[in-house]
């Protein structure tokens, strides 16, 4: 596709379950970012991938959160043992040119933990 694609668009899960959120970046983009936006709040950085470099994981809130990027393309954000405070919109973005060019965002995954 032409843009960043995220799936699912909505996810409702029970507290304690694991969830996986997927991000398909724009083809050829070397940088990929994950952010979280809680209701009425700003964007909270989670993790940043750039090419083959070690990812910047400094924003992951706990060890229940992890992310992978396979083959330099698709990324999966995994949240283990979900808690109600994990409820938020998870946004993914990608950019090209060593990640220093314009970043484009997907529509997000709205996660609700009940």
Could you tell me the smallest distance in angstroms from the CB atom of residue 86 to another protein? 19
Q: Is 96 in the site for another protein (CB under 8 A)?
A: no
CB–CB of 44/33 below 8 Å?
A: no
Classify residue 28 as left (phi > 0), alpha (psi -120 to 50) or beta. left
Angle at 27 between CA 18 and CA 44, to 5 degrees: 45
How many residues belong to the site for another protein (CB under 8 A)?
24
Q: Please say which residue, 72 or 80, places its beta carbon nearer to another protein.
A: 72
Site string for another protein, 16-55 (x = CB under 8 A): ---------------x-x-x-----xxx-x--x-x-----
Min separation Cβ 45 and another protein, Å: 5
Cα–Cα dist 86/112, whole Å? 8
Prior bond to 79 cis, omega within 30? no
Catalog residues that contact another protein under the rule CB under 8 A.
31, 33, 35, 41-43, 45, 48, 50, 56, 59, 91, 93, 98-108
């Amino acid at each position: 596709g032409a843009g960043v694609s995220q799936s699912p668009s909505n996810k409702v899960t029970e507290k304690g379950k694991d969830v996986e959120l997927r991000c398909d970046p724009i083809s050829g983009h070397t940088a990929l970012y994950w952010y979280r936006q809680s209701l009425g709040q700003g964007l909270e950085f989670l993790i940043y991938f750039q090419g083959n470099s070690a990812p910047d994981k400094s924003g992951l809130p706990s060890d229940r959160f992890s992310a992978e990027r396979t083959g330099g393309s698709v990324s999966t954000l995994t949240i283990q043992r979900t808690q109600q405070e994990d409820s938020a919109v998870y946004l993914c973005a990608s950019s090209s040119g060593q990640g220093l060019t314009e970043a484009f965002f997907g529509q997000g995954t709205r996660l609700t933990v009940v």
